[in-house]
Structure 1
Amino acid sequence: MLFTSVFKSVARWLFLLGIVGVAEWGAASPPSFQERGKSVARPAVVLDDQELQWIASHPRVVVTALEYPLYQFKDEHGQWTGLNSDLLKRISDMTGLQFVYQESFSTDQMLAHLESGSADLSTTLAMNDERKAFLDFSHAFGGAGWVFVGQAGAPPVQSLEDLAKRVLVLPTRHALEAMIRRNYPSIELRSVKTYAEARAWVESGEAYATIESEIGAQLIPSGRLQIGAVVPGKWDADYLVVRKGQPQLLSILNKALEALPAHELRNLRLKWFGGATTPQAPGFWQRFDSWICWGMLVLSLFGLLSLLWNRRLAVVVRQRVEAQRSLRDQLAFQHALMDAMPDPMFVRDLQGRLIMCNKSYEDALSTRFDRMQGRQLIEVDVMPRQTAELLHSEFLAQLSTRRTRFFERQLLFKEGVRDIYQWTVPFYTADGQLRGLLGGWADIARRTRQT
């Protein structure tokens, strides 16, 4: 109500101005915006009988996916997104292939999934001789160069020769690893699991440099790292990579890439990597319309979030009240159940302090619970000193062994010696954590008289 009363008049003016602004903005918008609502023609892919049969017999294609920003990564909802994920969605629409993701956490693990046959496809692997032995590569659909990444303040690395007798750190089974070991033996090569670990080595000074894709390196935040030169003569082309033995899948992917219009692939890359065109400067009214639209959007989002937040708070409060009521009911039932027991019963924690007892326990020791709550037997004067010390030491010993005890014994109370049947049982939380002891006793002589 407070939100509505404060912003009601402002919202009306923004709404009226927004209508005018949207109308002018729509009239002045470029064709790309006007055509947004039109359906985009999806090119058909002509598949032969063997390829159609392969799709029918392989309803799911498992994609081993390693998070690689802009190319393939998880959004805030845990869904895979990025350039390569968008490309697979288009191929799925064109061919009927269904792609499911299997997350990997390193290049080595991704290659292992393909080698073992637990995955069929990868979208972020570069080509080298080792991989060509057990993988097939589709037509290239883009690419970027490899660049050196070094420590900020140090001379930028210009070539592999600059790394002679220096430590170069790379993720295990990096696309350039075999070539560097073969052609540059003077480089001290170290292997780690991920690009993040490699960057951490460079930041800490344990390594002089690492090598990353030019696209990924552009996302490195400024600070303790700097991007050097492009690795000469090495190009990181973008492929769809399938394990060998699946010629139909490779053929389907190649046909889909060939059928995908060049402008659509270009738009996908522009969407994730940004464009090079310079837009015309908008006029005053266009900027004003934009401000109005953004103002209405922010105001609407604020109102919606306020409404959702209030509803959420109401649900949380109601759930908490219901949980507290249920807990009170359970505690009341437990107390009533214990008080209904004719024999003394008690509950003690891991230090032997009293948590709960029944009326019979209070009567047997001629005291009240509020005098004993949170205290050990040796801290209250309800039993002879030697009896209290004996029972307390037995409680602590039993907690260390976690064994149950059921036995008859004679025990000295203030009224004298009694023959009792004593029992104590360790109790645990739902996840198996020891919480204390549940125990009690029965007067054998009284039971004998009752029988």
Structure 2
Amino acid sequence: MRFFSGLKPALCWLFLLGCFGLSQWIEAAHLTKHSDALEAVQPIELNEHERQWIRDNPRVTVASVQYPLYLFQDEHGQWSGLNNDVLKHISAMTGLQFVHQESFSTDHMLERLQSGVADISTTLAMNDERKAFLEFSHAFGGAGWVFVGHSGEPAIRSLEMLAKRVLVLPARHALEDSIRRDYPSIEIRSVKTYAEARALVESGEAYATIENEIGAQLFPSGLLRVGGLVEGKWEADHLAVRKGLPELVSILNKALGAFSAAELRAMRLKWLDGVSPAPAPSFRARLIEWGCWGMGALGVLGLLSLLWNRRLATEIKQRREAEKGLGDQLAFQHALIDAMPDPVFVRDLQGRLIMCNRSYEDALSVRLEQVQGRMLFEFDALPQATALMLHDEFMAQLGTRKTRFSKRQLMFKSGPRQIYQWTVPFYSVDGKLRGLLGGWTDITERRKESGCRCLH
């Protein structure tokens, strides 16, 4: 006790410094989470003609295609992403109701807009072909285009490197017309989706594809490599509106013009922070950050040393209570997972199976006791190529620590199946990465019933 009494003045100073460091950290955290605490959205001022148009047309149909981080359906089938947040904000400003209508490729989405089935889209880039039948709103952000090639080939830095090679693009890609005009030696092959384009590059049937730089970073690299930016090509974020709706264009432009810089920054940070390249902090900024963290750590250590004895007894008591209820909790978790109708699995940091539910066992004709502790390609439940591809994706995702939701086609023992796949990194209570939680929903029959033969 005399020892601690002698340390009290120093520890008090450390505690005060720690509080200062923590206050700096809390302020920074507040900025990054600004999107969750935005002030109440104020309605924008519209003229009588625009207000009457909204009364006559309260629902606006959005042609929506899965475009991760910008616009996608989550595990509950709800539309989410940066562009959906923008639409929600506009809805609060104007009273318009945006109703998503899923499209399955860029070409499909453009057909719906041309035919009048849909009114707007949030993920279309502007080009001359599209301006013939679409109006584009003010820009509210943007990103560059990047080359995506095979990992076994040199990184692609320019369109000149694609001369006399196959470039695969989704049909009616925003850059297709300009590339055909300016680089006639490039052989362009059209497919329906970006997923098909990446698959052809992986197989070697095409040399490269071109994607938005944000989207290109979301998928495990595997056999693919992201190259340089397409020089002089920028994909601005617009709302595309079919022609014949000038009032809607005017309303959307007024709403976008009313967005504050802080609101747009908060929305982009919420979805794109950590994906798009960020500039390196200056040496001075790093010194300030290290100083704040150092003072915070010293303050916390000083406080912990003063309270150690008292907290130790409390911690032991809480640990015993937690251990007492752990058995029931684990039993409940097993019962809950087994009750899920879709296959669910848990894998560790090496891709070894930790646990799965009964639906997973039935889908792959295995039993947990036979495959527990083994990697996907170490047992004969899937074709070897599929198992190796999925294992590589799992390991890449553990490296990026990003969640993933995608509709795709996978080859099972019984043949190709259309599935909605999801994988989410999970962490221990102390914040350490422990592995992946994932599963899938078989939507093959749903696709057959709806008559859709699109591949994702």
Q: TM-score, normalised by structure 1?
A: 0.58
State the distance in 1 between where 2:168 and 2:213 align.
17
Shift of 1:72: 0.6
Question: In the alignment, which residue of structure 2 is the partner of 1:284?
Answer: 297
Shift of 1:225: 0.6
Distance 1:236 1:305, change over 3 A: farther
State the distance in 1 between where 2:222 and 2:38 align.
45
Shift of 1:89: 0.7
Question: Aligned letter for 2:118?
Answer: A
Distance 1:151 1:50, change over 3 A: same
Question: Aligned letter for 2:266?
Answer: N
State the distance in 2 between where 1:194 and 1:315 align.
35
Question: Aligned letter for 1:261?
Answer: S
Question: In the alignment, which residue of structure 2 is the partner of 1:177?
Answer: 176
State the distance in 1 between where 2:339 and 2:204 align.
52
Distance 1:26 1:90, change over 3 A: farther
1:255 corresponds to 2:254: yes
Shift of 1:41: 3.8
Shift of 1:34: 7.0
Structure with max Cα Rg: 1
State the distance in 1 between where 2:167 and 2:238 align.
26
State the distance in 2 between where 1:135 and 1:86 align.
22
CA deviation string 1:187-240 (max 9, x = no partner): 111000000000000000000000001111111312211111111111111001
Tell me the secondary structure at the aligned position of residue 210 of structure 2.
strand
Question: In the alignment, which residue of structure 2 is the partner of 1:53?
Answer: 52
Shift of 1:44: 3.2
Question: In the alignment, which residue of structure 2 is the partner of 1:112?
Answer: 111
State the distance in 2 between where 1:110 and 1:150 align.
26
Aligned Cα root-mean-square deviation (Å):
3.6
Q: Is the 8 A contact 2:113 2:119 kept in 1?
A: yes
State the distance in 1 between where 2:226 and 2:53 align.
45
Shift of 1:181: 1.5
Shift of 1:303: 9.3
Distance 1:33 1:169, change over 3 A: closer
Shift of 1:155: 1.4
Distance 1:308 1:191, change over 3 A: same
Q: How does 1:329-368 map to 2 (within 5 A)?
A: none
Tell me the secondary structure at the aligned position of residue 248 of structure 2.
helix
State the distance in 2 between where 1:33 and 1:157 align.
38
Question: Aligned letter for 2:47?
Answer: D
State the distance in 1 between where 2:45 and 2:154 align.
53
Question: In the alignment, which residue of structure 2 is the partner of 1:186?
Answer: 185
CA deviation string 1:56-111 (max 9, x = no partner): 11121111111111111111111111110111111111111101100011000000
Q: Is the 8 A contact 1:25 1:286 kept in 2?
A: no
Q: Which runs of 5+ in 2 are unaligned?
A: 1-18, 304-310, 341-456
Q: Is the 8 A contact 1:43 1:259 kept in 2?
A: no
Question: Aligned letter for 2:74?
Answer: D
CA deviation string 1:124-150 (max 9, x = no partner): 000000000000000011111111110
Tell me the secondary structure at the aligned position of residue 214 of structure 2.
helix
Q: How does 1:142-161 map to 2 (within 5 A)?
A: 142-161=141-160
Q: Is the 8 A contact 1:26 1:34 kept in 2?
A: no
Higher relative contact order (CA 8 A, sep 6+): 2
Question: Aligned letter for 2:220?
Answer: P
Question: In the alignment, which residue of structure 2 is the partner of 1:200?
Answer: 199
1:30 corresponds to 2:33: no
Tell me the secondary structure at the aligned position of residue 55 of structure 2.
helix
Question: In the alignment, which residue of structure 2 is the partner of 1:168?
Answer: 167
Distance 1:39 1:269, change over 3 A: closer
Q: Is the 8 A contact 2:106 2:170 kept in 1?
A: yes
Moved more, 273-282 or 52-61: 273-282
State the distance in 1 between where 2:102 and 2:77 align.
11
Distance 1:204 1:302, change over 3 A: farther
Q: TM-score, normalised by structure 2?
A: 0.57
